[in-house]
C-alpha cells in the first residue's frame, strides 16, 4: 500500500513540477517592486502589463480584484528582480505560483543607458525577449490534466489510498498564536508552535489585507479593530475566523 501511495505522489508531484507558463492565463503585477521607491516608478508596472498583454496573458494590477471564477492557484505572481552591476542596469523577471515556487525566470536584460527611466525600460524590454521566444500559448490550465493523471492512477491504487490524498483544512484555535514567516515577494506563511504551516498569505496593495490559503480554503486575511480575521465562503455563506498573528 505504501508503494502505491508513493507512486501516486510521485506522478502527481512530478506533473506539477513540470508546469510551465502555458498552464496559466492570469498574471498579477505589483504596483511597486522592491528595488524601487514608489509605485509604478519609471513606469515599470505599466510597461510590465503592456508586455504581458502582448505575450497573451490576462493581467491585473495587485490593487485590482481578480474575478471570482478564477482559482487563486491558477494565477501567477509576477516580479522584477534587479541584479547588482557596475555602470549597468540588470533586470530579470520571475513568475511564481501560489506556493511561491518559481514557474519561470527570464534571461537577464542589461542596459548601459545613464538615464534611469531609459535604462530600466530598456533592461526590462530586453528581459522580455526570452519570454517572447517561448511563444506562449495557453493550454487550458493544468487542473484538468492533473485530474486526468489522478484518475488513471486510481485504476491501480486502492480506493483507501487515494482517499488519503484529500486536503485536510487545518483547524485554528483562535487563542493560539501563529507566527508569520517571511517568504519571497513580501508574502508569508503562518506557522504554529510545532511548527506546522497553517496558512499562506499573499500581499496586496493594502497592508491590512492579504490573499490567504488554508488547506483547500481560499479567502482573505483582513485586519479589523487591530485583530486579524480569515474570511472565506463555504456553501455560499461568508465565514470569518479570528486568527492571532505575530509578524
The answer to whether residue 156 is domain-embedded is no
Domain check: are 128 and 182 in the same one? no
Instruction: Read off the pLDDT band of 160 (50, 70, 90).
Output: very low
Residue at which a domain ends, from 71, 104, 132 = 132
Q: Are residues 101 and 198 in the same domain?
A: no
- In angstroms, the Cα distances linking 188 to 28, 168, 191 are 17, 20, 9
Contact call for residues 247 and 180 (beta carbons, < 8 A): yes
Query: Assign residue 120 a region: left if phi > 0, alpha if psi is -120 to 50, beta otherwise?
Result: alpha
| Greater model confidence, 194 or 189 | 189
60 and 128 co-located in one domain: yes
State whether 103 and 205 are in the same domain: no
Share of the chain above pLDDT 90, in %: 43
Asked if the structure places residue 27 within a domain, the reply is: yes
Closest CA to 100 of 218, 200, 215, 217: 200
Amino acid 14: pLDDT: 37
> Tell me, what CATH number does 58's domain have?
3.40.50
Domain tally, the chain: 2
CB atoms within 10 A of CB 6: 11
**pLDDT reading at 100 higher than 50:** yes
pLDDT digits (tens, 9 = 90+) for 51-91: 999 999 999 998 888 887 788 888 999 999 999 888 899 99
Mean pLDDT of 17-32: 84
My answer on whether 24 and 127 are in the same domain is yes
**64 against 152, higher pLDDT:** 64
| 71: containing domain | 20-132
Instruction: Mention every residue, 6+ apart, whose C-beta is less than 8 A from residue 197.
Output: 189, 190, 191
Torsion of CA 177, 235, 96, 43, to 10 degrees: -100
**Whether residue 126 is found in the same domain as residue 192:** no
| Last residue of one domain, picked from the residues 115, 132, 149 | 132
Task: Give the list of residues 6+ apart from residue 52 with CB closer than 8 angstroms, or none.
Answer: 27, 29, 59, 78
66 in a structural domain? yes
168 pLDDT band, cuts 50/70/90, is low
On whether residue 1 sits in a domain, the answer given is no
CA 98, 99, 102, 104 torsion-angle sign: negative
What residues form DSSP beta bridges with 83?
A: 90
At 63, is the secondary structure helix, strand, or coil?
coil
Range from 26-35, 80-89, 144-153 carrying the lowest mean pLDDT: 144-153
In a domain, 4, yes or no: no
24 and 128 in a common domain: yes
Amino acid at each position: 500500500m505504501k508503494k502505491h501511495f508513493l507512486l501516486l505522489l510521485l506522478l502527481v508531484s512530478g506533473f506539477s513540477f513540470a508546469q510551465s507558463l502555458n498552464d496559466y492565463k492570469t498574471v498579477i503585477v505589483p504596483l511597486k517592486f522592491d528595488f524601487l521607491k514608489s509605485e509604478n516608478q519609471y513606469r515599470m508596472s505599466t510597461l510590465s502589463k503592456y508586455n504581458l498583454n502582448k505575450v497573451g496573458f490576462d493581467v491585473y494590477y495587485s490593487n485590482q480584484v481578480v474575478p471570482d471564477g478564477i482559482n487563486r492557484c491558477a494565477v501567477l505572481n509576477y516580479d522584477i528582480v534587479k541584479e547588482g552591476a557596475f555602470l549597468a542596469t540588470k533586470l530579470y523577471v520571475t513568475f511564481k505560483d501560489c506556493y511561491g515556487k518559481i514557474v519561470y525566470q527570464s534571461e537577464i536584460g542589461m542596459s548601459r543607458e545613464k538615464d534611469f527611466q531609459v535604462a530600466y525600460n530598456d533592461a526590462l524590454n530586453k528581459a522580455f525577449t526570452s519570454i517572447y521566444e517561448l511563444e506562449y500559448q495557453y493550454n487550458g490550465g493544468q487542473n484538468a490534466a492533473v485530474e486526468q493523471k489522478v484518475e488513471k492512477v486510481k485504476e491501480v491504487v486502492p480506493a483507501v489510498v487515494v482517499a488519503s490524498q484529500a486536503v485536510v483544512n487545518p483547524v485554528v484555535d483562535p487563542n493560539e498564536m501563529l507566527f508569520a514567516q517571511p517568504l519571497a515577494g513580501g508574502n508569508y506563511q503562518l506557522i504554529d508552535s510545532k511548527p506546522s504551516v497553517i496558512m499562506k498569505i499573499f500581499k496586496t496593495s493594502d497592508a491590512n489585507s492579504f490573499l490567504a490559503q488554508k488547506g483547500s480554503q481560499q479567502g482573505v486575511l483582513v485586519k479589523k479593530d487591530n485583530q486579524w480575521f480569515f474570511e472565506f465562503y463555504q456553501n455560499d455563506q461568508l465565514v470569518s475566523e479570528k486568527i492571532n498573528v505575530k509578524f
